[in-house]
Structure 1
Amino acid sequence: MSIASYIDSLVLAPAPAPQFESLFFGMHETTRSLNAPSGLPDRFMAAVNANALLSFVEGVDPEERDDVLFSVQLAVRGASGSHDRFTQIQAWYQKYTEILENLGWTAEQFAFAHYDQGEGEVRMDQAALAVIAAIASQNQLATLQELINALERLAEDDGTIRLFDFQSTMQTSGNFQIGAVQRTSNGALSLALGAFHFHSSDTRKRFLFFSWGARQVNFWTSAQKLTLNTTLYAPLRQAVKHKLGANALDYISALTTA
């Protein structure tokens, strides 16, 4: 099977609920009438993208940023179309990695470890950054910290954080990713990505920023570097956009980090 046929054969999870439509700034009804998403606005360097928070180091151009957002979104929606992302975690991440590899990303299966918080409390945003710090560059960590700060500043009813919570949690379970992208010296795109899932004793909005006690949440973490071969991805760009359709933008909400 060709890669184009593989992309076409993927079963995607349905679009977000109607209350989350048109969150992406600058999106108009004419964009939604198309069969594929148009280019995104040039000036933003962080975004919610389904259940992923992604930031971009200066030097990643708009087309490269779009390639990352759309390829990652295809992996998320394709994995969710095959497996429940809250109850079938291992199978979900296997499909997620398979899709990324077929799109030109080099990646390995995520190896999750239980996060040991002892008897104290933990905030998931701080724990996640600490895990990613082991694989990320200084610039990637800086953009991730800006992204987390921007998300934390949002009000509880802000559409961007509601979209992330909706895509990342269901009842007392969660599955999300946080990553930063930079261009390497050979022109490839390097993504320092943390993958996380949890089960908690109760349901909370803005779950990243709560202080969880040792008995309130079981939190699993993993991190790895992924690399996108842009030469391999370029011929697949339109097939990915076509498969995602116009509602790809319903999954994306830009964050202002300044």
Structure 2
Amino acid sequence: MSDRTDHELSRLRAQLGPVAPRFDADLLESCPSTSSLLLERAAAGAPSGSVVWALEQTAGRGRRGRAWVARSGASLTFSLLWRFAPGTRLAGLSLAVGLAVAQALERLGAQGVALKWPNDIWLDGRKLGGVLIELQQSGARTASVIGVGLNLLPPADGAVTDQPVAGLSASGARSTDAVTVLAALLASLADVLDHFEAHGFAAMRDAWQARHALQDQAVRLIDDSGEAEGICRGVDEDGALMLERDGVMVRVLGGDVSLRRQA
């Protein structure tokens, strides 16, 4: 561990305060994928609350095989291992994590943060970050590796992106310091994941809906079987998307699905 990473981890523990004992964080200068590394550690018995945070990520994974590359100083990229009790229903987990991220950013003073089903964080209609959940079964217990990527600053000039992208610096947040933001996110995740384990996504559905970026808007749903258009009516108590098509409500589960505003 370098002096720099040791200093940043000390700052993180201090800012986490009373919840610091719930996390065991490791900071890397560079890493291909924080989630891949943490999945390996989970299989080897790493405890719940383990965190891998990378200043630079070179081969991160997004949904549908998209890459998520983190630039040092401009992005926050980390993965959190969370082990759920046997029998916990995990429907809606990615939405619960998105809600935890949004609430943490709001507590930092960010304005205009919204959620797009199933796992995107938006700022004023542009992508601010995303969540990727990967599950690992061990006996009766389920380990969830929760990957979070967040843009602290806008993309560099000339950067190629497949959609409009925003940085937290444009949100009015009091700080874009990676340690401050990470501490806020981890504290929020601990609270939301405890609540999720006890009560399921249904208990936080209204809070998610209140931040829904595409509520009652015309959308285009894209998956491997083709495209469908309809009106986005939010999510049900399991986190499934409710799409109204020709007056009929269709329930869309998670998977390899892309949701976009109609042109």
After TM superposition, the score normalised by the length of structure 1 is: 0.29
**Structure of higher CA gyration radius:** 2
Q: Which has the higher contact order (CA 8 A, sep 6+)?
A: 1
Higher strand share: 2
